[in-house]
């Protein structure tokens, strides 16, 4: 699975799971509020029934003219009996810091209902019932909902991943077929292009054909060779072993400039060079792709009858053109694959993506200076590759 497919898969999963999480969150809040409301109603009913039972037992003892004996096991909830001075006479309350001016007290740890008798009964003026179950029930309910959401999210993520892989399967198959076609085509292109370039060189030496005709064939062959290099990077990059060697960057640049000179001259573009010997360690194939794409873009997007200046000094390579330029807002986007500066120059929009990828792989600093309509300058700093 390539980078774009992974990004699409993770984006789909993120949207799918987040939307499911929002929906489950709404359902959970509604369920929690309903369950808490029902629990509170049950709590109030139990508190009132407990108070009623205590009051009935208290009045029965008064009617039978006998003392009241408090039996905790008889009542569903904790209770307390207080006299007129609000002193506890009996009971099993957990919390005795009671505001007797209120009829109900709701705290995070408990809920209490206070009833004031019209007249004291056997010295009892206040009855208090206490329920400590509601906070615990709320806590357990929150844990249950959180656990349910967590398990549901795992299930949703699994289903989402399975569905996304299922949906991407035919797309993946088509991509693999296309990749195979590109690889086969790229492999087949190399032989005739090489043969063409060698034939042009041989014909020139023998003087067997018109120079203008040979120039057209040579330029076209070199343009196809540039396309081949781009396609080979996409098709075979991960399979080509790296072979870093120490060499003079100036000599490699001179070869590349010579290669593009004929193409540049066809657009009446001058290639100006100012280079000094710069020894560095790098895979030569990667270097050729790097400078080929920079020079190819410079020639492609330059205006006719202008100059492309190649400067190599103190480990810094500058390729400056006098072309269409890049808008300030497009600088970050221009390095992405299939992004082109203009539809006019053609191409695949892969060149600068290759440049950026190679720069990142070798730690080469890439700087872009550009002004729309006035040209661009690409500066590469090879300092870290010059160390022996």
The whole-chain average pLDDT of the chain stands at 82
Q: Quote the percentage of the chain above a pLDDT of 90.
A: 36
Inform me whether the pLDDT recorded for 71 exceeds 50: yes
The H-or-E segment that residue 50 falls in is helix 3-63
pLDDT single digits (tens) 297-351: 888 888 999 999 999 999 999 999 998 888 776 766 676 654 555 544 444 446 6
**DSSP code string of 100-132:** TT-SEEE-SS-EEEEEEEEEEETTEEEEEEEE-
Pick the CATH number of 243-385 from 3.30.565.10, 3.40.50.300, 1.10.3720.10, 3.90.1200.10: 3.30.565.10
- Sorted by where each begins, the domain ranges of the chain are 3-136, 243-385
Average confidence (pLDDT) over 222-229: 65
Question: Which pTM value belongs to this model?
Answer: 0.49
235-288 tens-digit pLDDT:
545 545 578 899 999 999 998 888 888 888 888 999 999 999 999 999 888 898
Q: Is 274 exposed, middle or buried (0-12, 13-18, 19+ CB in 10 A)?
A: exposed
Say if residues 222 and 266 touch (Cβ distance below 8 Å): no
DSSP 3-state assignment of 180?
A: helix
């Amino acid at each position: 699975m390539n980078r774009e497919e992974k990004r699409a898969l993770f984006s789909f999963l993120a949207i799918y799971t987040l939307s499911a999480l929002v929906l489950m969150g709404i359902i959970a809040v509604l369920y929690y509020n309903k369950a808490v409301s029902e629990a509170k109603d049950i709590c109030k009913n139990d508190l009132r029934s407990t108070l009623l039972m205590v009051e009935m037992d208290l009045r029965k003892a008064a009617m039978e003219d006998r003392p009241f004996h408090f039996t905790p096991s008889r009542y569903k909830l904790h209770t307390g009996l207080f006299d007129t001075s609000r002193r506890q006479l009996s009971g099993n309350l957990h919390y005795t810091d009671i505001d007797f001016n209120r009829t109900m007290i709701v705290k995070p740890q408990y809920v209490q209902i206070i009833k004031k008798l019209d007249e004291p009964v056997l010295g009892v003026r206040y009855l208090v019932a206490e329920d400590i179950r509601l906070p615990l029930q709320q806590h357990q309910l929150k844990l249950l909902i959180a656990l349910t959401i967590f398990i549901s999210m795992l299930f949703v993520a699994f289903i989402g991943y399975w569905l996304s892989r299922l949906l991407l399967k035919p797309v993946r198959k088509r991509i693999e077929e296309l990749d195979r076609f590109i690889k086969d085509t790229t492999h087949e292109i190399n032989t005739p292009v090489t043969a063409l370039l060698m034939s042009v060189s041989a014909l020139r030496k023998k003087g067997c054909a018109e120079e203008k005709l040979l120039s057209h064939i040579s330029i076209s062959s070199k343009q196809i060779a540039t396309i081949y290099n781009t396609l080979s990077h996409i098709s075979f990059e991960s399979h080509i072993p790296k072979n870093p060697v120490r060499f003079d960057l100036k000599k490699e640049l001179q070869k590349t400039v010579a290669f593009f000179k004929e193409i540049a001259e066809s657009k009446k573009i001058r290639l100006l060079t100012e280079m000094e010997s710069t020894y560095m360690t790098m895979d030569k194939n990667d270097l050729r792709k790097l400078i080929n794409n920079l020079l190819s873009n410079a020639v492609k997007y330059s205006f006719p009858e202008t100059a492309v200046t190649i400067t190599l000094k103190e480990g810094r390579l500058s390729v400056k053109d006098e072309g269409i330029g890049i808008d300030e807002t497009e600088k970050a986007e221009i390095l992405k694959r299939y992004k082109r500066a203009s539809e006019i120059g053609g191409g695949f929009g892969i060149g600068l993506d290759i440049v950026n990828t190679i720069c990142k792989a070798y730690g080469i600093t890439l700087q872009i200076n550009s002004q729309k309509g006035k040209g661009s300058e690409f500066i590469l700093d090879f300092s870290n590759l010059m160390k022996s």
